[in-house]
Amino acid sequence: MSFGSMFRELCCSAFAKKTAEDMAEQYGGEIGKNLIGGNNELANSLLGALTGKQQLSIQNVASMVQSSGGEQLVEHAETKGLDPALLNGVMGMLKGGGGGGDAGDGGGGGLDMGSVFKMIGGLTNRDGGGGGGGADGFMQLLQGFAGGSGGEGTNTGNIVQILLGLAKSYFNVKGKSNPAIQDWDAAGAGQNKSDDNFLNWALSVIRDLVFPGKKPKEIIQAGGDDDIDTGADSGKTKDDGDVKGWFDGHPEIGKMQKDVFDDIFDTTDDDKKDEDDPAPVIPTPSDFQENCSCLDNASILFLNCNLLLEYRKNWRFLFSTLSHARSLDEMMSKICYKGPTLIIAKDTEGNMFGAHASTSWCDTEGGWVGNGQFNCFLLRAL
C-alpha cells in the first residue's frame, strides 16, 4: 500500500471513529460513547463504509430512535411502505436484538446505540452487521419478529412471514423509484396484484429448506406445500446454520432486503442505479402496451429468479391477446426466431400457467425444431 493510500485510510478510519463517538455521546450518553468508540468496532466498521451523506442519514435514524424509543422510526418505515411483518421485526430488533447494554444504557426508551448500528449494518449488508453479510440481517429480522427471544432454531412459519414481508415491501418501497417496477405496473402488473401469489412465491423459495434434496415437482406432487406452516411462530424448527446456508443460495432475498432497507435508512450508494444491475430482481420490460400483461408482481419475481442470469435484465413483449389478434398464426409470426421466450396463459377461471423455451421457435419445412429444453410451470391454481 502506498503512503498516500495508507494516509487516506487512516484519516477515514479516524473520521469514522470520531463520528461514531460523537453520535453515541449525543444519542446514547457516556456509556453509549464507550460502547461505540471504545473496544467495540461495530460502529467504526459501519461508518467507515459510508459516505458523509449516508452518515448523516444514520444520525437521523439514531435521532428517531432516541426521541421516541423507535416508534418514530417505525412510523417513518410504515410511511415508506414497509410491510407490517418487517415493521414488527425491526421493532423487535431494536428492543431485544442488540447492543449488549442494559435497558438504561442508551437513553432511548430502553434502546441502545449498539442495537441501532447492528440493525442498520445487518439489514443493509455492511460490515457493521457483524461480518456475516445479509444473512445476519435476515436472522436478526427473524429473531426480532419472534420477539427477540432467540432460542433453538427458527420456525418455518416465521421465515415465510418475513419472505412475504420482504417481497411486498420491495414492490411497495421500490415501486416509488424503480423504473422497471413502474413500467410493469403500466403493463398490467399493478391491476393484477395478488397476495395469494406472494405466498406461492414464498413457498417456492422455502421448499429446498424444508425438503432438502427433493425436486420441486416431487414436493408438489406429494402435497408437500400443504405441510409447510405459514403462520407466525408455527411450523418445524430449522437450525440457524441451515437457514443461513439456504439464504445464501437465494441471492434475490438478500438483494430485496438490502434495497428495501437502504431506502428506509436512506443509505443507498450515491453511484448506484437500479438499471446498472446485470441480473436484477425484476426485469425491465420493453415494447409493451398499457395493460397488455396478465402477470402480477409476485409472478414476475418468481419467473425472473428462475431464469438464467443472462436473461434477467430485459424482457421484450412479443405478443398478447389483449393487444394483438387472437390467432395462433398471429402469435407465431410475433415469436418465431426471436430467441428464448416465456409463454404465459390465463384461462377463464383465473388459473395461470406457461412454459419457457430456451431457444427460438423455428418453423421449418421439416416441422418445428428446438433443443428439447422446454420447461412448464404453474403460477396460480384456483
The pLDDT tens digits for 231-267 are 998 888 999 999 999 999 999 999 999 999 999 999 9
User: Cell 407490517 maps to which residue?
Assistant: 84
Helix/strand/coil for 100: coil
Which of 247-251, 266-270, 360-364 tops mean pLDDT? Answer: 247-251
pLDDT at residue number 12: 42
Task: Give the HSE-up count for residue 258: Cα atoms under 13 Å, Cβ half-sphere.
Answer: 21
* Sequence-ordered list of residues with C-beta below 8 angstroms from that of 29, at least 6 positions apart, any chain: 105, 106, 107
pLDDT at residue number 4: 36
pLDDT at residue number 35: 40
Give the helix/strand (H/E) hosting 163: helix 156-174
Least confident of 40-49, 156-165, 186-195, 291-300: 40-49
* Sequence-ordered list of residues with C-beta below 8 angstroms from that of 249, at least 6 positions apart, any chain: 208
For residue 47, give the amino acid letter: L
User: Cell 432438502 maps to which residue?
Assistant: 212
Query: Distance between CA 372 and CA 359 in Å, rounded?
Result: 9
Average pLDDT over residues 359-381: 77
From 357, 181, 336, 318, select the one nearest 263 (Cα to Cα).
181
pLDDT at residue number 149: 56
User: Hey, how many other C-beta atoms are within 10 angstroms of the C-beta on 337?
Assistant: 8
Cell numbers for 332: 407465431
The pLDDT tens digits for 171-224 are 999 999 999 999 999 999 988 988 889 999 999 999 999 999 999 889 988 998
From 246, 303, 249, 247, select the one nearest 280 (Cα to Cα).
303
DSSP 293-335: ----HHHHHHHHTTS-GGGSSEEE----TTTS-S-HHHHHHHH
Average pLDDT over residues 144-161: 84
pLDDT at residue number 257: 96
pLDDT at residue number 127: 57
Cell numbers for 341: 421466450
CB distance 238 to 156 below 8 Å: yes
Q: Is the pLDDT of residue 53 over 50?
A: yes
Average pLDDT over residues 116-131: 74
DSSP code of residue 273: -
CB distance 307 to 356 below 8 Å: yes
Top-confidence residue, 295 or 278: 295
Q: Is the pLDDT of residue 100 over 50?
A: no
The pLDDT tens digits for 14-33 are 444 555 555 555 544 443 44
pLDDT at residue number 44: 65
Q: Is the pLDDT of residue 295 over 70?
A: yes
Handedness of CA 304, 309, 313, 315 (dihedral sign): negative
pLDDT at residue number 94: 82
pLDDT at residue number 110: 53
Q: Is the pLDDT of residue 9 over 60?
A: no
Average pLDDT over residues 304-332: 93
Percent of the chain residues past pLDDT 70, beyond the cut: 78
Q: What is the CA radius of gyration of the chain?
A: 24
Q: Is the pLDDT of residue 75 over 80?
A: yes
pLDDT at residue number 367: 77
pLDDT at residue number 131: 45
Distance of CA 256 to the CA centre of its chain: 2
Angle, CA 200 vertex, CA 178 and CA 287 arms, to 5°? 40
pLDDT at residue number 114: 73
DSSP code of residue 283: P
Q: Using CB atoms within 10 A of its CB, is residue 223 exposed (0-12), middle (13-18) or buried (19+)? A: exposed
pLDDT at residue number 101: 37
Crossing angle of helices 113-123/84-96, nearest 10°?
140
Q: What is the dihedral of CA 371, 373, 374, 380, to 10 degrees?
A: -160
pLDDT at residue number 22: 55
* Sequence-ordered list of residues with C-beta below 8 angstroms from that of 244, at least 6 positions apart, any chain: 132, 135, 138, 139
Average pLDDT over residues 285-297: 93
Write the CA distances from 324 to 32, 92, 158, 180, 317, integer angstroms. Answer: 65, 51, 44, 23, 11
pLDDT at residue number 38: 44
Look up the pTM and report it.
0.84
* Sequence-ordered list of residues with C-beta below 8 angstroms from that of 119, at least 6 positions apart, any chain: 90, 93, 94, 97, 98, 137, 140
Query: Distance between CA 290 and CA 323 in Å, rounded?
Result: 9
